[in-house]
């Protein structure tokens, strides 16, 4: 099954660039930091600890060259496991918060993407807990750069500290400009968070596994064919679900929800896309034919060409 999952043609719809930085790459950029310190910082057991790790890594991404390097490394790994298409979340909200050279960074990541055999598109991510005004600035940049392979605006971060309702006007403005919205929802919060995002125009949901708690919502996802970006390892390692065995991925798939499998933050969660497919087979009994359907779901629900 491992060989099958590696060789399977795949698409990654939910991967955060900043969460893909391997310890060795971070050490390459910052040789003054001991590997042991990096590995300690990468260890976490809940969502709050993960956010601390994520922020720490982000603070160390200081130049366009850093962003270009981590993009090349991520795409090298994706190509090696037969990922042909990727929508990469770029934390533009964090870049603006750090007051960095956004255009220089985007140029660097775009140049790195252009050299890869993987078809790369971008989802500009805002930070929920920063509020609607900073999110609007991220959305404006996403709309401005639609012709540069930017295909979506999203919100990530703490669902509880930054409820979806805060962003209603930002979502409406973005959709009016012809750009998709792909918010995180139904990860640390329940079905209401998913409902809110769908009612505001989302046609794909980051995570969304807690939709399984609401049969009416599951029916809606099936009826409208709204895809969920499932991240199995992430959900366990952030404490969003008590154990892997309790994840409703099989329930959602069997109900007819178009699920996709993704890594979220592969370096911070020590996973790969091929490994996520293996887990689906090992833990939830997905057959090769079913894994093929899951892989095809990602291509079918992609936002890029």
Closest CA to 124 of 97, 159, 155: 155
| Owner of token pair 């990727």 | 86
DSSP class of 270:
T
- Percent of the chain clearing pLDDT 70 (strictly above): 100
Task: Tell me the pLDDT of the chain averaged across its residues.
Answer: 97
Mean pLDDT of 8-20: 98
Closest CA to 170 of 191, 139, 143: 139
Residue 296 CA, chain-centre distance (Å), reads 18
* pLDDT category of residue 305 using cuts at 50, 70 and 90: confident
Catalytic residue among 87, 159, 187, 189: 187
Cβ atoms 113, 84 nearer than 8 A: no
Mean pLDDT of 219-245: 97
Instruction: For domain 2-300, give its CATH number from 3.30.1330.120, 3.20.20.140, 3.90.850.10, 3.40.50.300.
Output: 3.20.20.140
Statement: residue 56 has pLDDT above 90: yes
Statement: residue 39 has pLDDT above 90: no
Q: Left (φ > 0), alpha (ψ -120 to 50) or beta: where does 30 sit?
A: beta
Q: How far apart are CA 250 and CA 243, in angstroms?
A: 14
Tell me if residue 22 is catalytic.
no
Q: How far apart are CA 30 and CA 5, in angstroms?
A: 34
Mean pLDDT of 198-221: 98
Helix axes 273-284, 288-300, angle to 10 degrees: 140
Which uninterrupted H or E stretch holds 228?
Answer: strand 227-230
Confidence at residue 36, expressed as pLDDT on a 0 to 100 scale: 86
* pLDDT category of residue 68 using cuts at 50, 70 and 90: very high
- Please tell me whether residue 83 adopts helix, strand or coil conformation: strand
Statement: residue 45 has pLDDT above 90: no
Mean pLDDT of 157-180: 96
Statement: residue 151 has pLDDT above 90: yes
* pLDDT category of residue 44 using cuts at 50, 70 and 90: confident
Confidence at residue 211, expressed as pLDDT on a 0 to 100 scale: 98
Mean pLDDT of 229-254: 97
Mean pLDDT of 132-153: 99
Statement: residue 35 has pLDDT above 90: no
Statement: residue 79 has pLDDT above 90: yes
């Amino acid at each position: 099954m491992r060989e099958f999952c590696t060789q399977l043609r795949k698409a990654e719809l939910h991967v955060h660039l900043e969460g893909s930085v391997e310890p060795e790459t971070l050490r390459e950029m910052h040789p003054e930091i001991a590997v042991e310190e990096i590995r300690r910082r990468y260890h976490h057991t809940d969502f709050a600890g993960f956010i601390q790790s994520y922020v720490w890594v982000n603070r160390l991404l200081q130049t366009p060259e850093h962003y270009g390097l981590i993009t090349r490394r991520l795409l090298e790994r994706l190509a090696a496991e037969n990922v042909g298409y990727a929508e990469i979340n770029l934390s533009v909200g964090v870049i603006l918060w750090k007051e960095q050279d956004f255009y220089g960074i985007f140029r660097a990541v775009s140049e790195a993407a252009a050299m890869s055999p993987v078809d790369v598109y971008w989802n500009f991510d805002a930070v929920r807990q920063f509020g609607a005004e900073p999110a609007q600035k991220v959305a404006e940049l996403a709309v401005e750069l639609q012709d540069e392979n930017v295909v979506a605006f999203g919100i990530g971060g703490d669902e509880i500290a930054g409820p979806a309702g805060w962003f209603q006007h930002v979502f409406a403005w973005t959709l009016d400009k012809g750009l998709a919205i792909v918010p995180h929802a139904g990860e640390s919060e329940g079905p209401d968070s998913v409902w809110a995002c769908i009612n505001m125009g989302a046609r794909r949901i980051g995570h969304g596994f807690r939709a399984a708690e609401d049969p009416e919502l599951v029916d809606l996802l099936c009826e409208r064919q709204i895809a969920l970006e499932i991240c199995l390892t992430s959900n366990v390692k952030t404490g969003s679900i008590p154990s892997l065995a309790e994840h409703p991925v099989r329930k959602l798939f069997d109900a007819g929800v178009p699920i996709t499998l993704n890594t979220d933050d592969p370096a911070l969660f020590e996973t790969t896309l091929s490994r996520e497919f293996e887990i689906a087979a090992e833990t939830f009994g997905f057959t090769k034919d079913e894994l093929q359907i899951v892989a095809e779901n990602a291509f079918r629900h992609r936002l890029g060409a």
